[in-house]
Amino acid sequence: MSLTDSLTQAAPRIAVLVPCYNEEASIEAVVRDFKAALPTSTIYVYDNNSKDRTSEIASAAGAVVRREPLQGKGNVVRRMFADIEADVYVMVDGDDTYHAPSASKLVAKLLDEKLDMVNGARVTDWETYRAGHRLGNVMLTTLVTMVFGKRTDDLLSGYRVFSRRFVKSFPVLAGGFEIETELVVHALEMSMPLGEVETPYKDRAPGSVSKLSTFRDGFRILWMIGKLIKEERPMQSFGLVAVLLAVISVIITVPLFITYYETGLVPRFPTAVLATGLGLLSFLSLTCGLILDTVTRGRREMKRLRYLQIPAPDFDSGFLK
């Protein structure tokens, strides 16, 4: 029997990853529901310095509990992706707002269509989803769509399924909630096969409080998008700056040329120096864009080669039925 045939017949190892911070009111239900939805999976709960009984309750419910002292969801995801070995990774928040029975649909789509990431797009009543979060999600998703392409309708969903190739080739850099943006942009820039499944979304359980700040985390996510645009689209970013500086330089220079043509003099010498400086900065910005574009292409090729080094086992979803 060939290696490919043996991988096809074997059931994949499924790991459910649950980053948690003070979720004692909901973590038992999350562990219970996902064990029922994916009976062959292992549930990993990573406690991110909780001040309540999250760890004890999760352990009693049957989860494998580990701790990550660096605060922030991105730090937890980095640790989970590094430590856990599996074929399929299901990542979900520990607040019991995501629909556990949909997990089998997400996993089946990943396996049957040979995808690297399946996003759980939230479907909810408007009253359930805070207005600020809803508006921020729409705005940020639209911004990423405009720059990197439209392949998801819910950028900030915390419910996703990944292949091993994705997890082990993804260099996690974000430290907080902006990790969701980094995940999507990485997949888009690497041209990975992606999918999306609509899943119900409900309100938090009584006693569970959202850790996401509308403004603080919203600005952090926006800052992360700006950094990713600079790093992944340097020619466009620095090229735009170059154009703006060149336009300002020309606008300042035109009156000087008119005066010089009429009188043969340049009476506003400081303005001429400013225009010259802006012109030089414009060319410098364009040069930076050209150099960084070459660097970015090299980085992308290296990430792609790392991705291709990881085998893609050929599982099917028959074990879920």
How far is it, in rounded angstroms, from Cα 108 to Cα 316? 8
Contact 157, 197 (CB under 8 A): no
pLDDT on residue 1: 40
- Residue 92 CA to chain centroid, in angstroms? 14
Instruction: Give me the DSSP letters along 1-60.
Output: --HHHHHHHSPPPEEEEEEESS-TTTHHHHHHHHHHHSTT-EEEEEE-S-SSSHHHHHHH
Per-residue model confidence as pLDDT tens digits over 190-245: 889 999 999 998 877 666 666 666 667 678 778 888 888 888 889 999 999 999 99
Q: Which residues of 30-69 are buried (b: 16+ CB within 10 A; e: fewer)?
A: bbbbbbebbeebbbbbbbbebebebbebbbebebebeebe
Cα dist from 52 to 20, 24, 26, 76, 207, whole Å: 11, 6, 12, 18, 12
Measured between its terminal Cα atoms, the distance across the chain in Å is: 25
> What's the rounded mean pLDDT across residues 68-79?
92
What average pLDDT does this structure show over 267-283?
88
What number is the average pLDDT over the span 128-147? 69
Model confidence at 26: pLDDT above 50: yes
Residue 41 predicted with pLDDT over 90: yes
How far is it, in rounded angstroms, from Cα 63 to Cα 83? 16
> How many other CB atoms are there within 10 angstroms of residue 261's CB atom?
8
Calculate the average pLDDT of the chain: 85
pLDDT band at 2 (very low <50, low <70, confident <90, very high): very low
Residue 223 CA neighbour count, 13 Å, CB half? 11
Assess whether pLDDT exceeds 80 at residue 302.
yes
pLDDT exceeds cutoff 70 at 125: no
In angstroms, the CA 228 to CA 26 distance is 34
Helices (H), 61-124: 73-83, 103-112
| pLDDT exceeds 60 at position 126 | no
Query: Does residue 3 have a pLDDT over 60?
Result: no
Better-scored residue on pLDDT, 253 or 216: 253
Rounded CA-CA distance 173/155 in Å is: 17
The residue ranking higher by pLDDT, 89 or 2, is 89
